[in-house]
């Protein structure tokens, strides 16, 4: 199975399966001299599970991270950093009955074809949302690194099904309230309506999707490697590697197709002695390079494939049509768990490109 590493300078390699022994990530290329502890990674991992609500799967396990290499006396050494969490709450037997009945909307059928039946099917194996734990661990290192350059990446839910966040939120509100909300929406009244819509589909044995917005602040102008490693192309690729992501747009995105040039262009102005733009329809990227304005990206997430409603499938053993009602512990909506994953995905790409642009040095002397 190739395709498990991403990045050129800050290279993250994901390993582990949903119901295997662990989920881990190997980060190669992190500069020496970054102060890094297990607590830095743990606090990001804890954001994945909105505890105390009925909106996430019953598979609630606190993922406890261990750093196995690459950190000495509290600082990164420049060597590969291996971090992992052990899987504890896995119940593989839940999947035996469905082994030959591919779940509609999940990767069971395509994985069977691609890997000739050898891939670990339990809980979706490598195709489980659980594998995003690796992204969050790598993302927490990237975020810490970017923080030294005042770069901040914030993601939040803007829609669950047809319940939308309409209010525009300040950066302070997003920072303060996103993780107070079980659905990760910083407007707490929209959050309640979103939570109710998830509980409603859960009662119906169904699922719902949604939208996440992500903003990266203080990214300097001129970061990216066009043509084929454009900043937007690399961010989009990373985001599409998150399971269940079905759409990505920057700035005005798909709406820009309906705008005139005079409406879509972002006029330049001088703000506090620096070049800025009046609007940000470009989403902070032009020609594959950052403009210095906030990078703004939105992600569409589909409804969770595993639902307990009866659906048509095919029995792969006898090639007969069959029905499936998915048992096991599944989230009726994966959007809340995906919010820190989106933040991490964007942070990893930014760390990689900041290193490639030479803005982040290979040794962080000023840390000590």
CA dihedral 27, 30, 32, 35 (to 10 degrees): -80
Q: Among 102, 124, 283, 284, which residue interacts with ligand FMN (rule: CB under 6 A)?
A: 124
Q: Is 128 in the site for ligand FMN (CB under 6 A)?
A: yes
Q: Is 308 in the site for ligand FMN (CB under 6 A)?
A: no
Can you tell me the distance from the alpha carbon of 215 to that of 170, in angstroms, rounded to the nearest whole number? Answer: 12
Task: Find the shortest distance in angstroms from Cβ 13 to ligand FMN.
Answer: 19
- Among candidate residues 30, 21, 152, 138, the one with its CA nearest the CA of residue 87: 21
Q: Is 157 in the site for ligand FMN (CB under 6 A)?
A: no
Q: Among 244, 252, 347, 351, which residue interacts with ligand FMN (rule: CB under 6 A)?
A: 244
80-109 footprint of ligand FMN as x/- string (CB under 6 A): --------------------------xx--
Stretch that binds ligand FMN, among 70-78, 287-295, 335-343, 345-353 (CB under 6 A): 335-343
338-357 footprint of ligand FMN as x/- string (CB under 6 A): x--x----------------
Task: Find the shortest distance in angstroms from Cβ 276 to ligand FMN.
Answer: 34
Q: Is 337 in the site for ligand FMN (CB under 6 A)?
A: yes
Can you tell me the distance from the alpha carbon of 101 to that of 345, in angstroms, rounded to the nearest whole number? Answer: 32
**185-204 binders of ligand FMN (CB under 6 A):** none
Q: Is 305 in the site for ligand FMN (CB under 6 A)?
A: yes
Burial 173-187 (b: 16+ CB within 10 A, else e): ebeebbbebbbbbbb
State yes or no: cis peptide before 135, omega within 30 of 0: no
* 3-state SS record for 192-240: HHHHHHHHHHHHCCCCCCEEEEEEEECCCCCCCECCCECHHHHHHHHHH
Residue whose CB is less far from ligand FMN, 337 or 356: 337
Residue whose CB is less far from ligand FMN, 126 or 143: 126
Q: Is 209 in the site for ligand FMN (CB under 6 A)?
A: no
Q: How many residues does the chain have?
A: 368
Residue 335's Cα: distance from chain center in Å?
10
Residue 93's Cα: distance from chain center in Å?
28
Task: Find the shortest distance in angstroms from Cβ 41 to ligand FMN.
Answer: 17
Continuous H helices in the chain:
38-45, 108-114, 132-147, 171-177, 188-203, 231-240, 261-264, 335-356
Can you tell me the distance from the alpha carbon of 129 to that of 251, in angstroms, rounded to the nearest whole number? Answer: 27
DSSP annotation of 120 reads -
Q: Is 57 in the site for ligand FMN (CB under 6 A)?
A: yes
**264-303 binders of ligand FMN (CB under 6 A):** 302
Residue whose CB is less far from ligand FMN, 284 or 305: 305
How many residues bind to ligand FMN according to rule CB under 6 A?
21
Contact positions vs ligand FMN (CB under 6 A):
57, 106-107, 124, 127-129, 132, 242-244, 302, 304-306, 330-331, 334, 337-338, 341
């Amino acid at each position: 199975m190739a395709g498990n590493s991403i990045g050129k300078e800050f290279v993250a390699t994901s390993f582990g399966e949903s119901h295997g022994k662990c989920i881990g990530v190997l980060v190669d290329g992190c500069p020496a001299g970054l102060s890094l502890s297990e607590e830095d990674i743990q606090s990001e991992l804890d954001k994945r599970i909105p505890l105390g609500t009925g909106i996430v799967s019953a598979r609630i396990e606190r993922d406890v991270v261990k750093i196995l290499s690459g950190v000495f006396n509290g600082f990164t050494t420049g060597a590969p950093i291996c971090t992992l969490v052990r899987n504890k709450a896995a119940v593989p037997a839940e999947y035996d009955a469905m082994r030959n009945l591919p779940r509609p909307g999940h990767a069971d059928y395509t994985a069977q074809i691609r890997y000739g039946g050898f891939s670990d099917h339990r809980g979706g194996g490598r195709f489980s949302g659980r594998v995003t734990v690796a992204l969050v661990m790598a993302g927490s290192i990237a975020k810490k690194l970017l923080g030294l350059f005042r770069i901040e990446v914030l993601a939040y839910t803007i829609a669950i099904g047809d319940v939308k966040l309409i209010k525009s939120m300040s950066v302070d509100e997003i920072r303060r309230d996103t993780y107070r909300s079980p659905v990760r929406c910083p407007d707490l009244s929209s959050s309640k309506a979103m939570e109710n819509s998830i509980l409603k589909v859960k009662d119906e044995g169904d699922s719902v999707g949604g939208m996440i917005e992500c903003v990266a602040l203080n990214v300097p102008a001129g970061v990216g490697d066009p043509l084929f490693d454009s900043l937007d192309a690399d961010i989009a690729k990373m985001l599409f590697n998150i399971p269940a992501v079905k759409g990505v747009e920057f700035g005005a995105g798909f709406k820009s197709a309906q705008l005139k040039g005079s409406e879509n262009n972002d006029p330049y102005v001088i703000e506090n002695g620096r070049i800025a733009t009046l609007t940000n329809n470009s989403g902070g990227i032009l020609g594959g390079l950052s403009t210095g304005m906030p990078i703004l990206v939105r992600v569409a997430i589909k409804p969770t494939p595993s639902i307990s409603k009866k659906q048509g499938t095919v029995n792969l053993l006898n090639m007969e049509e069959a029905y499936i009602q998915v048992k096991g512990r599944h989230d009726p909506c994966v959007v809340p768990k995906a919010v820190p994953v989106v933040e991490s995905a964007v942070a990893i790409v930014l760390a990689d490109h900041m290193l490639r642009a030479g803005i982040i040095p290979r040794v962080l002397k000023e840390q000590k």
